[in-house]
Structures are given as C-alpha cells and as structure tokens.
C-alpha cells in the first residue's frame, strides 16, 4: 500500500509519455531492403534496447507459435541483422508455409524498431495489395507482439521503479542511522570535553596550590638546613674542648 501512490504516478507518467509519442507500440506499414529489393513490411517501435527487443521477439514467437528464428545468435555469438524462419507454419497468417523475416534497429537510445516481412515462396512476398488478407494477418500478429512487449516493458519499469524506491528507502534508513550515531558520538565527545575541561580547571587549581606549597617547602628546607648546620657546629665545638 505504501508504494501505491508512487506506482500510480509512474503509470500516469508512462501514459503521458505514450501520448507524446503516439507511434510507439502502434504497428504501421513500411518497407525494408532485402535481397537487393524493397519489400513490403510491417513495423513497430517499442521501449527497450535492441537486444531486449530481439530476445523478446524470439521468445514470444517460440511461446506463441512455436517458431524458432535463426540468425539471432546464442549469447550474442553469430548474430545476424536478419532473423528468419524458413517454411514455417504461421496459422494466424496463412494456411501455407511461410518464410518469416525480421530485423531490429535502434532509432534512439531507449527505443527500437522491429520490422517483419514474409514470403509465400521464393519471390512471393506478402503485399498489402497482392496478398491483402495475409499481409493484414501479419500486421495483426505483430500488433499482438507489440501489446505483449508494452505489458512486459511496463512491468519491468515498475519492478525497476520499486527496486529504486526500496534502495532509496534503505539509503534513507542508513543515513538516519548514521546521523543518530554521529549525534550520539558528538554528545559523548561533548560530555568528555566538558569532563576534560573540568579536570583541567581542577588540575590548574591544584597546580597553583602545589606551587604555593613548593615555595613553603623550599623555605622550610632552608630553615631546616640552617638548623642542621648550627647543630653540627655546636657538636664540633664540644669535640674541641
């Protein structure tokens, strides 16, 4: 409950951000250059890095359609610009086997663009006019991915915001603890300083008293030396008689 207000503000800010950039998560027609020709494609921009989009696109296709793309690489090794799945079944797009192609680019540091195109044969690429139903179905498929990507991105952003909030709260607790410790140490040091000041005053007073006693001691020492010498002189005089 204590995080509810913060999360609501986060979701509102995300909503305002999406309004400012309406094209995000909205699939639109486009073209890509593939095999030295311009091919009709569908495109969508999403939040996230190129690697994030590439990974989620591959996992979403596998989970949703059991399609395994090639060219994505393993742990970043052997990755190609174009990911493809040759002669694969995409029932929501066509009853025929498709060659499915896609690539990911980065228009900005925080967003990526997914381009998807497909072919029914060696040179029969889906086209909004020539294969209107298949092209529309491909667009709907990519739109479904965009919806899933937005949900995933929002969840991750909320998780990250919650983590940052917890980190800030922990930092606040640590700072408050440090302040209390320093205040306690300061109070202890001030008490020790006051005790030392008092001890210094007492030491100064005793030093003055001891100085007076030292002077008196020196005077008595001279008197007693003189007394001792007189007695020695008397003893010497008796010994000479």
* Cα–Cα–Cα angle for 217, 223, 229, rounded to 5 degrees: 135
Query: Could you tell me how many residues make up the chain?
Result: 241
- pTM above 0.75? no
Residue 116 pLDDT grade (very low, low, confident, very high; cuts 50, 70, 90) = very high
What 8-state DSSP symbol labels residue 28? E
pLDDT for 220 equals: 85
pLDDT over 70, % of the chain: 87
Question: Is 224 strand, coil or helix?
Answer: helix
Highest mean pLDDT among 1-5, 17-21, 50-54, 225-229: 50-54
Nearest to 44 by CA among 29, 31, 60: 29
Asked whether residue 134 carries a pLDDT value surpassing 80, the answer given is yes
Q: How far is CA 152 from the centre of its chain?
A: 19
Q: Dump strand ranges (E) for 126-193.
A: none
Q: Dump strand ranges (E) for 80-184.
A: 82-89, 97-105, 111-119
- Which has more confidence, 130 or 78? 130
Q: Whose structure tokens read 């999360």?
A: 7
Question: Is 32 strand, coil or helix?
Answer: strand
Asked whether residue 228 carries a pLDDT value surpassing 60, the answer given is yes
Residue 3 pLDDT grade (very low, low, confident, very high; cuts 50, 70, 90) = low
Asked whether residue 56 carries a pLDDT value surpassing 60, the answer given is yes
Nearest to 101 by CA among 41, 36, 30, 161: 41
Dihedral, 139, 142, 143, 145 alpha carbons, nearest 10:
170
- Which has more confidence, 155 or 225? 155
Residue 223 pLDDT grade (very low, low, confident, very high; cuts 50, 70, 90) = confident
Strand partners, 88: 98
d(CA 83, CA 32): 13
Strand partners, 104: 114
d(CA 207, CA 142): 94
End-to-end CA separation in angstroms for the chain: 116
The tens digit of pLDDT for each residue in 166-196 reads 888 888 888 888 888 888 899 899 889 999 8
The tens digit of pLDDT for each residue in 207-221 reads 888 888 889 888 888
Question: Is 98 strand, coil or helix?
Answer: strand
β-bridge pairing 82-89 and 37-47? unpaired
Least confident of 10-14, 22-26, 137-141, 170-174: 10-14
Q: Which helix (H) or strand (E) holds 135?
A: helix 132-240
- Which has more confidence, 21 or 49? 49
pLDDT for 28 equals: 96
Residue 85 pLDDT grade (very low, low, confident, very high; cuts 50, 70, 90) = very high
Report the pLDDT averaged over residues 100-119.
Answer: 94
């Amino acid at each position: 409950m204590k995080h509810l207000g913060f999360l609501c503000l986060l979701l509102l800010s995300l909503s305002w951000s999406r309004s400012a950039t309406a094209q995000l998560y909205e699939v639109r027609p486009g073209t890509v250059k593939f095999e030295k020709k311009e091919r009709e494609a569908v495109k969508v921009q999403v939040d996230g890095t190129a690697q994030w989009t590439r990974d989620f696109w591959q996992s979403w296709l596998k989970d949703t359609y059991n399609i395994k793309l090639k060219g994505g690489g393993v742990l970043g090794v052997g990755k190609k610009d174009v990911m493809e799945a040759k002669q694969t079944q995409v029932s929501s797009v066509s009853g025929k086997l498709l060659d499915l192609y896609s690539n990911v680019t980065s228009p900005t540091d925080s967003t990526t663009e997914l381009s998807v195109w497909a072919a029914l044969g060696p040179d029969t690429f889906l086209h909004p006019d020539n294969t209107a139903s298949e092209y529309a179905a491909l667009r709907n498929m990519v739109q479904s991915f965009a919806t899933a990507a937005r949900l995933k991105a929002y969840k991750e952003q909320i998780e990250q915001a919650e983590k940052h909030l917890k980190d800030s709260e922990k930092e606040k607790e640590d700072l408050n603890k440090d302040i209390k410790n320093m205040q306690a140490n300061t109070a202890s040091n001030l008490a020790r300083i006051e005790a030392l000041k008092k001890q210094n005053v007492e030491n100064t007073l005793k030093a003055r008293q001891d100085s007076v006693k030292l002077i008196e001691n020196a005077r008595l020492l001279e008197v007693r030396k003189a007394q001792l010498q007189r007695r020695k002189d008397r003893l010497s005089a008796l010994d000479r008689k």
